[in-house]
Chains A and B, each alone.
Chain A
């Protein structure tokens, strides 16, 4: 594969809107999805993720806007002529067919010779670690196996784009972690352009090349996992990706590409995305793990513990302070466990505090 192709976008959405009656499911969404990458659509339920996926698949026609696949306008192309496969939330395995027939379904549509179908299905099942299960019915499989069959059924067609609609939401937490690793490896190995929908931010952070955060039918921010976590474009993204404390602060000045702000007793120098207006009040994002808590030092931001929870790896607190309630994840537990009502003193890890507009 040439380097040139890696950079061109395989799938392109241009100003897509979709209305169902009065409901605007998505509003003026544009996206470029590069060849061979896995893009995640992340957002709360009802924000229009599935609708975007269905428009890409051709199951819905957008009210306005265009979809391009490899440069060709496919907005009105019927779904069965698109070479785009979809893994459904419910897996949608045909209950009246066994595993073999399910996987062979699309190949039979393409009129492959039966011999070749048999070899392909066998091989792909073996690859998915499910050799010998050909004759099983979908209801005789575990959730994880059903999921693998659904993915395999789509993959054997070698689609140009593979779509996943919350494929792991029906699995328990442990299996979910494992399956997302499997999906990511498979996608990388085959270099298949993929769009992955989830409302689970940790899943999105774990498997994506790029994450598209959506809110209320529009795109909030597009970026890599680290960028979204460290430098969210707005408080919605900050809050949705991981946990965040949003704290009001006073802007003192701009200095060397950083903003000097005053918050509580501290004067901090923090990164920003857009230069803020002078003299205005600004918002800071502080992650719970970037707050240091100590009951003993008697120095810094004073607060009182309101909720205290032992979580195993961390101690989690909610602390009342003069700048508002703050959530804190204390990994080191240097100061020991602070009970409810304890007076504590907080400090921020300055380099991780981020100014949002």
Chain B
């Protein structure tokens, strides 16, 4: 028996060698903002080989890596090698953490150190799957461990930093400090009261309007209901501030409706009414999507059974449809509440002196430079949204899944009771008219000199855009285009792992990955600023931090569409692939990916759109070099250049609409050439 076996464990010894090679070319420590960069030519002062003597554990780490590499060459028993690999790689990952988090947190880590850490993780993953601790091969276990590490770094760690900011005073743990801070700040109570009032009102209104639209589109006799469909979805591709600007144009001091029609000059819209109107317009579509999904998948046989048992249309509606829809309604309400609390753009634009949590956090950092206050308010906001999120997910979420059985509903749907139908159609048409008026005003606002004061036609705002905005437009496009595929793939991978594999820690894994949905952007923003501005991880000021922020904030969308798509795929297909000899990676790429292509595309487009329209988190992260469209628009609004802001918004809307149309064409073509079998629900998901 040979003692050295090159063929058996190629992945380990070759992998080890590659890591050594990479460590030579990437800086192990970083200067500010260069965490992800390559070594500069000729300058090897940040290379790992120059730090060896200085950090005692580093020598040990490299020794461990060397041992792992050699282990891959030795001809040992399978279990023995698995155990040795487990011990070596686990101690590697732990020692790394001890050295750079506990012993020398002041060292700024560079690309090389990430490579070293993740290589230990991947070797650990391989040993775990070899030892049968994670069911699945190295691809599965490697993905699980790497994603878990990323979740810890980019979601848990920033949250912890926020907590320490307000709980730790002069290196002593004093949780009561948060109350001291909040009580000392005079507006705390008013802000909290305002936020809750706003969120609950918006929750009720959005849900009601979403429900009206869902009922009309799924169940009305109205012939032109497809037309309403488009309107209900329009706000999703709308950048922040558009609705706010439109409301100012229509209902502000110089507003078309208030001033020209009613002939009054009043700022009543700034504050509670304006925010509620704007947010309802923004979030009703989300409620609509949830509720139309619920209604769509409801089995009409249940209603037919009710008719055959002698109930009339109205009674069936009350006793069958309504109870089945209730969990969905709770769901829509809670999600609207979360969105409303997290919303930054509308309150900052329309709030006046009605200040809410999200805007107060921003002002605490930008206006008062008070990190502790910002962190404390952030914790309050986070606890409210998180509680809502947990209620939504584990109480309502479970119930609503029970009612939505996977059975596809048939084509014939039963119409609503007549009276209800007509009043709902009337109402939704009115709402659509309001939407048209608002969007129209924004569109027109870009072509007049000064809305309400000088209404002569002009192209000057668009000309101005070319000089004062085009740069940020391109930056935004680039960053959105980079982050969209990353988000979609990561979200999909997480959906795949969570729905198809059982592993230790799956629940917290899933929870954390969906968590960023419940963390308001402002909280993520201050978390990132506080966490990634100082060693050991320094990313602020780079474009990378923006991409990372986009990816981890938008990931839940990718996860959701991935989960929905995977639910429709018989797991037996994957099992068939595996029993036919294919690896998990091959199964994922040849069977799973092609079957969920629509979900991938919709995930892609969704994350693209969300990246284009992000504001609340990135406003803390942009620099002069990395300006984004939304932050520029906010700047112009604050400078009073509403025309330019409006023109910019119009261009963003057109860009996103074009992207969505393009994607729909691609999907349609795929379906037509017979390469795909798309169910109705998937098409719905794509259309978003």
A: residues with CB less than 8 A from B are 57-59, 61, 76, 78-86, 88-90, 92, 94-96, 105-106, 109-110, 137, 139, 153-154, 157
Contacts and interface: CB of A to CB of B under 8 A. Distances in A.
A105 B578 contact: no
A255 to B, nearest CB: 54
A159 to B, nearest CB: 9
B406 interface: no
Contacts of A90: 570, 572
9 closest pairs, A vs B, by CB? A106-B580, A92-B576, A92-B572, A109-B581, A88-B572, A86-B579, A96-B594, A109-B582, A79-B578
Interface of B: 132, 135, 137, 570, 572-573, 575-583, 586, 590-591, 594-595, 674-677
A61 B575 contact: no
A109 B586 contact: yes
Contacts of A89: 572
B579 A96 contact: no
B674 A137 contact: yes
B198 to A, nearest CB: 44
Given A61-B132, A76-B132, A92 B581 contact: no
A105 B572 contact: no
Contact of B595 (A95, A137, A139): A95
8 contacts: A57-B579, A61-B132, A92-B575, A94-B591, A96-B677, A109-B581, A110-B581, A139-B677
A40 to B, nearest CB: 20
Given A80-B579, A80-B583, 11 more contacts: A61-B132, A78-B578, A79-B579, A86-B576, A90-B570, A90-B572, A92-B570, A94-B577, A95-B573, A95-B677, A154-B579
Nearest to B576: A92
Nearest to A88: B572
Give the residue among A79, A80, A106 with the most B Cβ atoms within 10 A. Answer: A80
Contacts of A81: 581
Contacts of B575: 57, 59, 79, 86, 88, 92
Contacts of B132: 61, 76
A89 B572 CA distance: 9
A58 B581 CA distance: 11
B547 to A, nearest CB: 32
A49 to B, nearest CB: 15
Contacts of A80: 578-583
A84 B579 contact: yes
Nearest to A139: B677
A59 B581 CA distance: 12
A166 to B, nearest CB: 12
Nearest to B79: A76
Contact of B580 (A76, A85, A96): A85
B581 A88 contact: no
A207 B532 CA distance: 68
Nearest to A105: B580
A153 B677 CA distance: 21
Contacts of A79: 575, 578-579
Contacts of B591: 94
Contacts of B578: 59, 78-80
Nearest to A95: B677
Contacts of A94: 573, 576-577, 591
Nearest to B129: A78
A110 to B, nearest CB: 6
A78 B137 contact: yes
A137 B576 CA distance: 17
Contacts of B594: 96
Contacts of B572: 88-90, 92
Give the residue among A57, A85, A95, A157 with the most B Cβ atoms within 10 A. Answer: A95
Nearest to A86: B579
A59 B574 CA distance: 11
Nearest to B573: A92
Contacts of B586: 109
A284 to B, nearest CB: 44
Contacts of B135: 61
B667 to A, nearest CB: 14
A198 B577 CA distance: 23
Nearest to B587: A80
Contacts of A85: 579-580
A139 B137 CA distance: 32
